[in-house]
Amino acid sequence: MQLEALIFDCDGTLAETEEAHRAAFNALFREHDLDWHWSIETYTDLLKITGGKERIRHFLRHYAPSKADYYIDNDHLIPPMHVRKTAIYMELVKTGEVPLRPGVERLILEARAAGMRLAIATTTNIDPLSALFEGTLGRDALTWFEAVAAGDMVPNKKPAGDVYELVLKELNLQGPQCMAFEDTTNGILSARAANIPVLITVSEYSAGQDFQGALAVIDNLGEPDAPFKALSGYAHKPTHVDLELVKKWHAAGSNG
Ligand SMILES: [Mg+2]
């Protein structure tokens, strides 16, 4: 089956956004004069919980920081805190503080020039996504993507397949006609639930996860002068992932 569309996850795949999310949470806590601080280790654990508000609640219950009881008893304080955290995060990414990962811009531009259809499937809301583009590819870049399924548009977040099913519906394509770009186990499960082959670029926070079910697992998309490393699923020695290589992987995956 011919490859018709590339579908990208956002956090961890387009950019290493998790460090900016973590920085935004910590800035929020400072603004509230709280001595709470999320280390990389803590945040790795908290990422198992989907959703920022849910993460704060989980932190209060399981890490018992100062004033936890007060915030548990006053749960209405948490949603506005999360709104403020999102604003801090958006300021960070809008200013270009968070670059796209290696090869992402190159591949998107190549695919776009070749007339390949593009889409996004993410659990992030649309505003932070568009802020990321504003700080990287430019304000209009979101319009390059024919289907953008984000945040709460679907009832069930990844690892459920809903977000990919919605993209397929909007593109009017079948799963095997697409390639998904993801960085986590949950991403693989979500794309595979919609019968879409998956390429994994391992991110800072997904190293060590189970990538079974992916067509290939690499450290990033690579650049001609900064080759990617294959962690599994590929025997050749190209330097970077271009459209031709994506098509090869796709053909191998859909014939196999
Ligand atoms: Mg991700």
Tell me what the mean pLDDT of segment 95-121 comes to: 96
Q: Residue 211: which of 180, 241, 187, 175 has the closest Cα?
A: 187
Q: Do 222 and 241 touch, CB atoms closer than 8 A?
A: yes
- pLDDT confidence tier of residue 189, bands split at 50, 70 and 90: very high
The pLDDT of residue 256 is 42
255 pLDDT above the threshold of 60 = no
215 pLDDT above the threshold of 70 = yes
171 pLDDT above the threshold of 80 = yes
Distances (CA, A) of 49 to 46, 111, 212: 6, 33, 21
Tell me what the mean pLDDT of segment 192-209 comes to: 95
Which is the catalytic residue, given 9, 162, 183, 242? Answer: 9
Cα-to-centroid distance, 187 and ligand 1 (Å): 6
Residues 6+ away with beta carbon under 8 Å from 252: 215
What are the residue ranges spanned by the domains of the chain?
5-16+100-255, 18-94
pTM above 0.85, yes or no: yes
Q: Which residue has the higher pLDDT, 255 or 238?
A: 238
Tell me what the mean pLDDT of segment 64-86 comes to: 95
- pLDDT confidence tier of residue 234, bands split at 50, 70 and 90: low
What is the residue type of 121?
A: A
* Average pLDDT over all residues of the chain: 93
61 pLDDT above the threshold of 50 = yes
Distance of CA 18 to the CA centre of its chain: 9
Cα-to-centroid distance, 100 and ligand 1 (Å): 13
83 pLDDT above the threshold of 70 = yes
| 210 in active site | no
> Which of the listed CATH numbers 2.40.50.140, 2.60.40.10, 1.20.1260.10, 1.10.150.240 matches domain 18-94?
1.10.150.240
CATH 3.30.70.20 applies to domain 5-16+100-255: no
Q: Do 182 and 200 touch, CB atoms closer than 8 A?
A: yes
235 pLDDT above the threshold of 70 = no
Cα-to-centroid distance, 126 and ligand 1 (Å): 15
The pLDDT of residue 211 is 96
Cα-to-centroid distance, 158 and ligand 1 (Å): 10
The pLDDT of residue 151 is 74
Cα-to-centroid distance, 208 and ligand 1 (Å): 14
Tell me what the mean pLDDT of segment 178-183 comes to: 98
Q: Do 180 and 196 touch, CB atoms closer than 8 A?
A: yes
Cα-to-centroid distance, 77 and ligand 1 (Å): 28
Q: Which residues pair with 180 in a beta bridge?
A: 7, 198
Q: Which two tokens stand for residue 204?
A: 């800072």
- In a 3-state reduction of DSSP, which class is residue 5? strand
| 9 in active site | yes
Q: Which residue has the higher pLDDT, 166 or 252?
A: 166
Cα-to-centroid distance, 70 and ligand 1 (Å): 33
The pLDDT of residue 124 is 82
